Structure 1
Amino acid sequence: MIPLTVPSPIATPAAVETEGFLTEMGAQVQMQGGLISNHARYRFRSLEYGQERVAVTFRAIFRAIRRLVLALKAWAGQMDAQRAALWHGQQMMCEGENLGLRFTACRGERCALLS
């Protein structure tokens, strides 16, 4: 024969104590869950803010490097222009010296012819 148990409509002290404990635990879990959720949202916003700051900083660094590269290119262009001017000046001096030597040589020939 199977024993038949019928729940009693009258609450036993153990059942009341268990129900109170579970209710209290449920309230604590719900409160902790709210705190954890709030903390997670705060940390997520904090991470978003940190990411945004890093992105802004990276953009600023990138722009500074870009300006530096452009400045170096401009400086290199100026150096190339100065080098070309110096080379051209040296070429002109060489041509001037050659002309002077030729002039002197011609003058010497004329002087020799006239004498």
Structure 2
Amino acid sequence: PSIVPLPISSPIISLTNPSLVALPATIEAKGFLSELGAQVEMHGGLIRDHTAGQTDAQRAALWHAICDTQMENRELQLHITEERRARLDLAEIVDSMRRRPEPRGDV
């Protein structure tokens, strides 16, 4: 993007009779504004580059965080599955113990 000076519209300043003589201050101001515009463009490019780099770094950090979370989730699911199997095994043992006939005291 470049800086385009806007026309000055004022009832006090008449633009219908432009001066044919360029004042040194006007030339100096135009040079300054051109240089300023170039610096703004350069800094804008640097900011975009920095932002893009920062975005890539943030994207990579987020990707690693997601992978870590998914791995932790899988580990927790395995742990829960193991606990459920152990509970089922215990429930079967308790159930089989309840079904056995109680020993008689006929010794």
User: TM-score, normalization: structure 2?
Assistant: 0.73
Aligned partner of 1:108 in structure 2 is none
Aligned partner of 1:5 in structure 2 is 17
Change in Cα spacing, 1:87 to 1:12, as seen in structure 2 (3 Å) is: same
Q: Which runs of 4+ in 1 moved over 4 A?
A: none
Aligned partner of 2:5 in structure 1 is none
**Structure 2: runs of 5 or more not aligned:** 1-13
**2: CA distance, partners of 1:49 / 1:7:** 59
Structure 1, residues 20-77: CA drift from partner, whole Å, max 9, x if none?
1101100110011001100111121122112211211111111011001101011101
The structure that has the greater radius of gyration is 1
**Structure 1: runs of 5 or more not aligned:** 102-115
Aligned partner of 1:43 in structure 2 is 54
Secondary structure of 2:17 counterpart? coil
Aligned length: 93
Aligned partner of 1:69 in structure 2 is 80
- Computed over aligned residues only, the root mean square deviation of the Cα atoms, in angstroms, reads 2.2
1:88: Cα distance to partner? 4.0
Bigger helix share:
1
Aligned partner of 1:110 in structure 2 is none
**2: CA distance, partners of 1:78 / 1:44:** 51
User: TM-score, normalization: structure 1?
Assistant: 0.68
